A = this chain, B = another copy of it.
């Protein structure tokens, strides 16, 4: 089941650089693990912004919430979720 997620990151300017770097490194590893498992199907940067557009492929709303809440950057992000469906004009059976 597909979901469109937009994440806007806003790290406080007074967070020490080492702490921020540590969180971003953990975030990257976590994100790449989910991509390898096929849960986080797409991940794009929005041009000019510290924001991304992501497509998740999960079994339930519950699973999506748990994945998002576990993001190391979760406390510093604004997240918007939008449910998606396969489009009747898509040429692929599963357009994930």
Q: Which residues of B contact A81 (CB under 8 A)?
A: 47-49, 82-83
Q: Are A5 and B48 in contact (CB under 8 A)?
A: yes
Closest CB-CB distance, A60 to chain B, in whole Å? 5
Q: Are A43 and B95 in contact (CB under 8 A)?
A: yes
Closest CB-CB distance, A14 to chain B, in whole Å? 9
How far is B80's CA from A82's CA once the two chains are assembled, in angstroms? 10
Q: Are B53 and A83 in contact (CB under 8 A)?
A: no
Contact of A90 among B12, B43, B61 (CB under 8 A): B43
| A45-B60 CB under 8 A given contacts A12-B13, A31-B89, A89-B28 | no
| A41-64 vs B, Cβ < 8 Å mask (1 yes, 0 no) | 011111111001101000011101
